[in-house]
Structures are given as C-alpha cells and as structure tokens.
Amino acid sequence: MTSAQGWSATWTFCDGAWHEGNAPLWGARTHAIWLGSSVFDGARVFEGVAPDLDLHCARVNASAQAMSLRPRLSVEEWVGLVGEGRKRFAANATLYVRPMYWAERAGPMALPPDPDSTRFALTLYEAPMRKPDGFSITLSPFRRPTAETAPVEAKAGCLYPNNARAMLEAQSRGFDNCIMCDAAGNVAELANSNIFMARDGAVFTPIPNGTFLAGITRRRVIALLREAGVEVVETVLRYQDFENADEIFSTGNASKVLPVTRIGERALQPGPFYRKARALYWDFAHAKG
C-alpha cells in the first residue's frame, strides 16, 4: 500500500503515540536537522521473523551515547515497541524497522547537543528485500573517515553523505556499489554493507579497525559459518585481493546476504560460500524468530 505522498505503508511511534504515514518529527530549530545529531539503526521484519532485533536496539542506544545523546528506552522497551508496531501491518509484511534518537536543542555552547533534549522515534515501513540476483562493484575514490575525523563508532546519519557520494560515483561509472577503503588504503566495506570474499577454500573479511561499521549481520554470518566448520579469517585486505577472489558476497541488515557478480570488468558467479552463508542465515532467522 502506498500513501498519496508516495510512501509505502508506514507507522511511527513518537511522543507517546503511533502516527500513520510520514510523521513530521522536527522543527526549524531542531538540533538534528541543523547540526546532524541523529543516530539510527536498521532492523528487519520478514517472513514473520525479526532476527537480531535486540542487537539492533542495543546498537542504537550505544550510538546515542557515542553522540552525547541520552538513550530514552531500554532494549526491552524498544523490542516491545517494535512488537506493537508490527501488529499494524499484515503478518507476512516485509518491514524496515528504524529506531532513532536525536537532540532537539543545542547545549549552552550552541554546537554540541543538549543531552537532556534527546528525543526518540521508531518508524516501521514496508520495504521489500533485494532479490539475491547479484550486483556489481568497483573501487571508490572516496575513503572512510578515521576515528579522529568522524564519529565512526556511532551509526549516525552524519556519516552517510560520504557513503552516498561514493555510491553515486560508482553508479556514474555503471556499477551498483563500491568498495570503500580506509585512510590507509585497506578495504573497509561497501557503501551500505559489509564485504566478504572466498579464496582457496576459506572466507576472508576486513578486520574491524574502527573506520567502518562492523555490522550485526557480518558478526552473525561469521559465527554461523564458523559453527558450520568454515574457516573465516578477519584480516587486512586490499582491493586486489577482491579482484583475485573466487567469490565475493555482502552482508547487511537490509537484504542479509547477497552475491557480488562483477568486480570491475571481471564477472563472478554466486559461489558455494555465499550460498552456505545465506542458507545458514535463513535457518538462524527462522529458528530464533
């Protein structure tokens, strides 16, 4: 279902009540729209399950603290609210679940947020998952910031214009997505997800170094593959390692595990490790509910 404004079916909890559609949250003086103090997380409801919802709720609270905001809900309260919101959609709806915090006011020195003015909202909306038919990647000329140059320990809205310009630049050259490196030129992640490769029977992924979002799906997939007896190595990787990989796949909340089917001019097939990771994730999601 799509609203007159073109939004898919959407429900938002804010200021003690549920609102249908694209609920207005901010005013002209809200700190978040002026100075970028918003944090968010993204979880999923699909096929009647919401895997790792508690971890996504815990992360939005950690992101708030990293941005000097004051978390307003416990993980249990967030999870309970998501449960309420789900009931407003069909039981089999595919939803994006986005908890958010932001500062309403600046503190006395104008620049930093006033933590006492922290507000929160939870928005749920229908959003299909991407089909696992593969996508293409290239090397981005843009880099991830270091911990000294941006609040990379938070999943903060202010980090995303850099990823958006990287994705747009890749798309201008005919690719769907791109590998972003850190300041030292080591592979960090894709513009919107984490990246894995397989070579000679083992799986490799960049080791978290504080410059990129070491995602919840990434951590889950590593654990599932290891439990299944697959060797998964977190290490320093260069773009060339991916160019020479047997297979490449991505992980992220939005579409879970997807195959990369082209890097630069080289075509790739969805491989056995990708297939195993995706199947293990689906088993996990349905086992845990």
Which residues here bind ligand PMP, judged by CB under 6 A?
Answer: 42, 163, 189, 192-194, 213, 215-218, 251-253
Closest CA to 205 of 186, 224, 178, 192: 186
Q: Which of 226, 266 has the CB closer to ligand PMP?
A: 226
From the CB of 17, what's the least distance to ligand PMP, in Å? Answer: 28
Q: Which of 62, 105 has the CB closer to ligand PMP?
A: 62
Q: Which of 104, 256 has the CB closer to ligand PMP?
A: 256
From the CB of 268, what's the least distance to ligand PMP, in Å? Answer: 20
From the CB of 103, what's the least distance to ligand PMP, in Å? Answer: 21
Tokens 């997505």 correspond to 177
Q: Which of 198, 213 has the CB closer to ligand PMP?
A: 213
Q: Which of 121, 152 has the CB closer to ligand PMP?
A: 152
Q: Angle 203-205-211 (CA atoms, 0-180°, nearest 5)? A: 175
**Shortest Cβ contact with ligand PMP: which residue?**
215
Closest CA to 248 of 224, 282, 273: 273
From the CB of 92, what's the least distance to ligand PMP, in Å? Answer: 22
Per-residue DSSP letters for 139-208? EEEEEPPPTTTS-TTS-BGGGHHHHHHHHHHHHHTT-SEEEEE-TTS-EEEESSSEEEEEETTEEEEEPP
The SS3 call for residue 66 is helix
From the CB of 158, what's the least distance to ligand PMP, in Å? Answer: 13
Q: Which of 123, 253 has the CB closer to ligand PMP?
A: 253
Other residues' Cβ atoms within 10 Å of the Cβ of residue 181:
23
Cα 116 to Cα 125: distance, rounded to the nearest angstrom? 29
What is the C-alpha radius of gyration for the chain, rounded to an integer number of angstroms? 19
From the CB of 193, what's the least distance to ligand PMP, in Å? Answer: 5
